[in-house]
Structure 1
Amino acid sequence: MKTVLPITDGAIRETLQIARSHGPTPYVRERAHAVLLSSRGFPMAQIADIFEVQYQTVSRWLDDWEDYGIRGLYKTHDGGKKPIYNSEEELRIKELVAKEPRRISYVQSKIEEETGKSASKTTIGRIIKKLGMVYKRLRKSCKHKRDEEQFQRSKAALKDAQEAEDKGLINLFYFDESGFSQEPCVPYGWQEKGKQLRIPSVKSKRINVLGFMNRSCELFYYPVIGSVDSKTVIDIFDYFAYQMTAPEYGGDDRYTVVIIDNASIHTSKAFRARIDDWILEKKMIVLFLPTYSPELNLIEILWDKAKYEWIDILSIVNFRGFEKEVKRVFDGVGQEYMISYA
Structure 2
Amino acid sequence: MPGSIRLRQDYSAPDLRRLASRSKDANQSRRLLSLAAVLDGMSRADAARIGGMDRQTLRDWVHRFNQAGPDGLFDHWSTGPASRLSDEQKAELALVVEAGPDPVVDGVVRWRRIDLQRVIKERFGVEYHERHVGRLLKKLGFSHMSARPLHPGQDAATVAAFKKNFPRALTAHIGHLPKGKPIEIWFQDEARIGQKNGIVRLWAKRGTRPRQPADQRYQNAYLFGAICPARGKGAGLALPFADTFAMQLHIDEISRHVKRGAHAVLLLDRAGWHTTEKLIVPRNMTLIFLPSRSPELNPVENVWQYLRQNWLSNRVFDTYDAIIDAACQAWNNLIDQPQTITSIGMRDWAHIGQS
Report TM bin, short chain.
0.5 to 0.7
Partner of 1:219: 234
1:258 to 261, 266, 270: 266
CA–CA separation in structure 2 for the residues paired with 1:14 and 1:73: 16
Compute the displacement of 1:331 (Å).
3.0
1:220 aligned counterpart, secondary structure: strand
Q: Structure 1 unaligned runs (5+)?
A: 113-117
CA–CA separation in structure 1 for the residues paired with 2:68 and 2:122: 36
Compute the displacement of 1:151 (Å).
0.9
Partner of 2:291: 290
1:207 aligned counterpart, secondary structure: strand
Q: Which amino acid aligns with 2:200?
A: P
1:151 to 143, 151, 159: 159
Matches within 5 A, 1:58-73: 70=71
Residue by residue, what CA displacement relative to the aligned partner does 1:250-300 show, whole Å, maximum 9, x if unpaired? 7878765332223xxx237xx64426x636x85754332123321211222
8 Å Cα contact 2:64/2:73 also seen in 1 = yes
2:336 aligned counterpart, secondary structure: coil
Is 1:111 matched up with 2:137?
no
2:204 aligned counterpart, secondary structure: coil
8 Å Cα contact 2:233/2:335 also seen in 1 = yes
CA–CA separation in structure 1 for the residues paired with 2:98 and 2:58: 41
Alignment RMSD (CA, Å): 5.3
Partner of 2:150: 142
User: Which shifted more, 9-18 or 287-296?
Assistant: 9-18
Compute the displacement of 1:176 (Å).
1.0
Partner of 1:236: 246
Q: Which amino acid aligns with 1:274?
A: E
1:292 aligned counterpart, secondary structure: coil
Compute the displacement of 1:178 (Å).
0.6
8 Å Cα contact 1:210/1:222 also seen in 2 = yes
8 Å Cα contact 2:223/2:238 also seen in 1 = yes
2:138 to 105, 129, 132: 129
8 Å Cα contact 2:223/2:236 also seen in 1 = yes
Higher helix share: 1
Identify if the C-alpha distance between structure 1 residues 299 and 71 changes in structure 2 by more than 3 Å, giving closer, same or farther. Answer: farther
User: Which shifted more, 287-296 or 2-11?
Assistant: 2-11
Partner of 2:352: none
1:210 to 224, 231, 236: 224
Residue by residue, what CA displacement relative to the aligned partner does 1:307-342 show, whole Å, maximum 9, x if unpaired? 112x27689885455543432332344334541126
1:179 aligned counterpart, secondary structure: strand
TM-score, normalised by the number of residues in structure 1? 0.62
Identify if the C-alpha distance between structure 1 residues 93 and 193 changes in structure 2 by more than 3 Å, giving closer, same or farther. Answer: closer
- Corresponding residue pairs, total: 307
Q: Structure 2 unaligned runs (5+)?
A: 101-110, 347-354
Partner of 2:186: 173
CA–CA separation in structure 1 for the residues paired with 2:76 and 2:287: 61
Partner of 1:267: 272
Q: Which amino acid aligns with 1:293?
A: S
1:210 aligned counterpart, secondary structure: strand
CA–CA separation in structure 2 for the residues paired with 1:146 and 1:169: 33
CA–CA separation in structure 2 for the residues paired with 1:195 and 1:178: 32
CA–CA separation in structure 1 for the residues paired with 2:80 and 2:236: 61
Compute the displacement of 1:141 (Å).
5.3
User: Which shifted more, 4-13 or 299-308?
Assistant: 4-13
Compute the displacement of 1:179 (Å).
1.9
Partner of 1:94: 94
8 Å Cα contact 1:175/1:259 also seen in 2 = yes
Identify if the C-alpha distance between structure 1 residues 217 and 110 changes in structure 2 by more than 3 Å, giving closer, same or farther. Answer: same
Q: Which amino acid aligns with 2:118?
A: S
Identify if the C-alpha distance between structure 1 residues 141 and 323 changes in structure 2 by more than 3 Å, giving closer, same or farther. Answer: closer
Q: Which amino acid aligns with 2:280?
A: W
Percent same amino acid at aligned positions?
13
Matches within 5 A, 1:17-28: 22-23=26-27
CA–CA separation in structure 2 for the residues paired with 1:145 and 1:68: 66
CA–CA separation in structure 1 for the residues paired with 2:235 and 2:24: 59
Partner of 1:278: 280
Is 1:301 matched up with 2:302?
yes
Compute the displacement of 1:212 (Å).
2.8
Residue by residue, what CA displacement relative to the aligned partner does 1:151-207 show, whole Å, maximum 9, x if unpaired? 122223444577879964545432211122366645222334566655455456323
8 Å Cα contact 1:179/1:207 also seen in 2 = yes
Identify if the C-alpha distance between structure 1 residues 80 and 307 changes in structure 2 by more than 3 Å, giving closer, same or farther. Answer: closer
8 Å Cα contact 1:245/1:253 also seen in 2 = no
Identify if the C-alpha distance between structure 1 residues 314 and 186 changes in structure 2 by more than 3 Å, giving closer, same or farther. Answer: closer
1:188 aligned counterpart, secondary structure: coil
2:142 aligned counterpart, secondary structure: coil
2:291 aligned counterpart, secondary structure: coil
8 Å Cα contact 2:188/2:267 also seen in 1 = yes
